[in-house]
Amino acid sequence: MGTLKSAALRHNPAWGQLLGLCPLLAVSNSMVNALGMAAASSFVMLGSSFTISTIRAWIPHHVRLPCFVLVIATFTTCAVMLLEAFAFDLYLRIALFIQIIVSNCMILGRIEAFASRQPPGQALLDALGTAIGFACALLALGAVRESLGHGTLFAGMELLLGGAASEWQIDLLPEGRRLIVALLPPGAFIIAGLLLGTGQALARSDKTDHESRETGPDLREVEG
Amino acid sequence: MLKPLVSLVGISLVCAVLLATTRTQTADSIHRNREAQTWRLAFDLVGAFATTNLDFASDVLILESGRRLVRGTVAGYAGDIGLLAALDEQQRLIGVRVTRHNETPGLGDFIDVQRNPWILQFGQRPLASVDSVTGATITSLAVKRGVRQLLAGEQ
């Protein structure tokens, strides 16, 4: 349980370690894109963490990086194929970004720092925590950007979740009062910065946080 | 020296099996989705047409109106770019759409009509005066080359 919590909160990939920012900023312009990216990243994160952890005894130390990248690339390719087969409209919108999950340093970082040194159970928990943390960051950013930029929330969810979700759309802002900059890359940086600042302020005010006194090696040092 | 090699080969094999399994499970759906997408784009180019034959014979489809749809691929900056062109009765270009591509997100993806109206230039002005895009020279030129090839194949 500690592993899960630590990975999702203290070592939150986006807000704690500032990893994986490219996909985070690129596809968080709406909730449905964010959710698709979160699902694909989680799939790759869990699959490759578990696989690497299972075969870690057979990976020679000095060729570990090619092995990690090979496994990550395999799961990413599988994710792309699954998306193209079962959520084609979403595939057309975010496939280009799904493909670059391969180079997401969040995944490689967690595998190098954790999954390649721990048994599969622990590695799965850590991967789950990291995936949840990344998903929360994506969805938070997606919610803010979509509600400010498009004036809606949950628009187009049927692309991912099927017909029933087409009624989920909530209209918040009328046309003309929307903040287009929220949808553009600069807006992504500004909003991500504001969310990051808020998170840091909250974490700092919470002095009784036991997580900060957790023992064990600080994994952040390994990741550079 | 041998151990890393054996490990790498072993892991590659495991990955290959995983990929092959996923591929066989998804190939049919992917093919159907791509065909449906091609037909949506074709509809976009030439309007409604009556055919129930959802299969291009040798990548050319002649419609009742005398118009024809031609499709093909051209090597882009990152893998093949799938192109669909519509020609009128006199073999003049009506328009072009990109059916699939892997160009760089944010740089080369302007060829997708959903992201950028760039592709709409084809058919509206002579091929030679279609603008190229700075920063994506290879992508722009590849699309133009592909269209030229499709036209040459038809004339």
Here the ipTM equals 0.77
pLDDT digits (tens, 9 = 90+) for A13-28: 777 777 888 888 888 8
Please determine, for residue B30, whether its predicted confidence score (pLDDT) is greater than 70: yes
Instruction: For residue B19, list chain A residues with Cβ-Cβ distance below 8 A.
Output: 74, 77-78
Distances in whole angstroms, Cα of residue A133 to Cα of each of A6, A15, A30, A173, B98 = 10, 9, 18, 29, 36
Query: Of B153, B42, B59, which is closest to residue B94 (Cα–Cα)?
Result: B42
Could you tell me what percent of chain B has a pLDDT over 90? 32
Considering CB atoms only, which of B7, B30, B114 is closest to A85?
A: B30
Could you tell me what percent of chain B has a pLDDT over 70? 93
pLDDT of residue A71: 93
Give dist(CA B62, CA B51) in Å, integer. Answer: 10
CATH code of the region B60-154: 3.90.1010
CB contact under 8 A, A67 and B8: yes
pLDDT of residue B50: 64
The count of other CB atoms within 10 Å of the CB of residue B116 is 12
Please determine, for residue B138, whether its predicted confidence score (pLDDT) is greater than 60: yes
CB contact under 8 A, B11 and A92: no
Q: Cβ distance B29 to A87 under 8 Å? A: no
pLDDT of residue A26: 83
Could you tell me what percent of chain A has a pLDDT over 70? 90
pLDDT of residue B155: 67
Q: Which residue has the tokens 């995936």?
A: A131
pLDDT digits (tens, 9 = 90+) for A174-194: 877 788 888 888 889 999 999
pLDDT of residue B60: 78
- Local confidence band at B13 (pLDDT 50, 70, 90 cut-offs): very high
Instruction: For residue A188, list chain B residues with Cβ-Cβ distance below 8 A.
Output: none
Give dist(CA A5, CA A209) in Å, integer. Answer: 12
pLDDT of residue A212: 47
SS3 of A100-156: the string is HHHHCHHHHHHHHHHHCCCCHHHHHHHHHHHHHHHHHHHHHHHHHHHHHHCCEECCC
pLDDT of residue A207: 54
pLDDT of residue B57: 55
Nearest residue of A to residue B15, measured between CA atoms: A74
Q: Is B111 helix (H, G, I), strand (E, B) or coil?
A: helix
pLDDT digits (tens, 9 = 90+) for B87-137: 888 888 999 999 989 888 778 888 988 888 899 999 888 888 888 888 888
Q: Cβ distance B142 to B77 under 8 Å? A: yes
Instruction: For residue B102, list chain A residues with Cβ-Cβ distance below 8 A.
Output: 96, 99
pLDDT of residue A220: 47
CB contact under 8 A, B30 and A84: yes
Give dist(CA B98, CA A221) in Å, integer. Answer: 45
Phi, psi for residue B136 in degrees, rounded to 5: -140, 45
B26 or A218: whose pLDDT is higher? B26
Chain A contact for B116, CB < 8 A? no
CB contact under 8 A, A67 and B11: yes
Query: What integer is the mean pLDDT of B6-17?
Result: 91
Distances in whole angstroms, Cα of residue B5 to Cα of each of A14, B119, B153 = 35, 47, 47
Q: Cβ distance B70 to B84 under 8 Å? A: yes
Chain A contact for B107, CB < 8 A? no
DSSP string, B21-74: HHHHHHHHHHHHHHHHHHHHHHHHHH----------BTTEEE-TTS-EEEEEEE
pLDDT digits (tens, 9 = 90+) for B57-92: 567 777 777 788 888 899 999 889 999 999 888 888
Question: In the structure encoding, which two tokens stand for residue A39, read together?
Answer: 């699902």
Per domain, the residue ranges of chain B are 60-154
Give dist(CA A178, CA A74) in Å, integer. Answer: 40
Beta bridge partners of residue B82, listed in sequence order: B73, B100
Instruction: Average pLDDT across each block of 10 residues of chain A; the chain has 224 residues. List them in order.
Output: 76 77 84 88 93 90 89 93 89 83 88 90 91 90 90 80 76 80 88 87 67 46 40
Give dist(CA A64, CA A58) in Å, integer. Answer: 10
pLDDT of residue B58: 63
Considering CB atoms only, which of B11, B12, B22 is closest to A81?
A: B22
Query: CA A90 from chain center: how many Å?
Result: 17
pTM: 0.79
